[in-house]
Amino acid sequence: MVQLPAGATQERTQKVLDEVTDYYLNKEKANVESVFAVNGFGFAGRGQNTGIAFVSLKDWADRPGDENKVEAITQRATAAFSQIKDAMVFAFNLPAIVELGTATGFDFELIDQAGLGHEKLTQARNQLFGEVAKYPDLLVGVRPNGPGRYAAVQNRYRPGKSSGAGRVY
């Protein structure tokens, strides 16, 4: 991901993207199959001061050794890109599961659809946490998120019904 200061021109952004592409195709040529760089687009939005590059690595069989794993390649790239003064350039690996993320995790919601009550729902939550705790290498930082007790309201729109306030639910 490439981010230049606000107001930076598309030409400046392209120059940085060229540096990024050059790094991967030359310094990491033993590991990199190809680079696809896009000027004017990034995960945070669009603009002439942003860009993104997608790097395709060679097959695992062609990259033996820990120094050729994606984590090592990303670390070397991050160090190299820190020397680029005109932009912030971040190298990171995409998540193994699309949209799950590599740092932010995910939300899991328990819903008492059977109407058993808050106490039973809390017991189910605690049981789930107990099971998750058995896998500390797989899931870390598991915790309740939000208040322990809150209500959700499902509104159903009834077409044809109206009031002075507008739609009736």
Closest Cα to residue 92, out of 83, 101, 32, 62?
101
Domain span(s) for CATH 3.30.70.1430 in the chain: 2-89
Give the residue-averaged pLDDT of 43-57. 90
pTM: 0.58
Q: What would the pLDDT profile of 76-85 be if each residue is shown by its tens digit?
A: 999 999 999 9
Tell me which H or E stretch contains 99.
Answer: none
pLDDT of 27 > 50? The answer is yes
Q: What would the pLDDT profile of 96-152 be if each residue is shown by its tens digit?
A: 666 555 555 667 788 888 999 888 888 888 888 788 778 777 776 666 655 555 444
Q: Report the CATH number of the 2-89 domain.
A: 3.30.70.1430
| CA dist., res. 5 & res. 87, Å (int) | 7
Q: What is the mean pLDDT of the chain?
A: 82
Q: Which residues contact 40 (CB under 8 A, 6 or more apart)?
A: 10, 13, 46, 47, 48, 50, 51
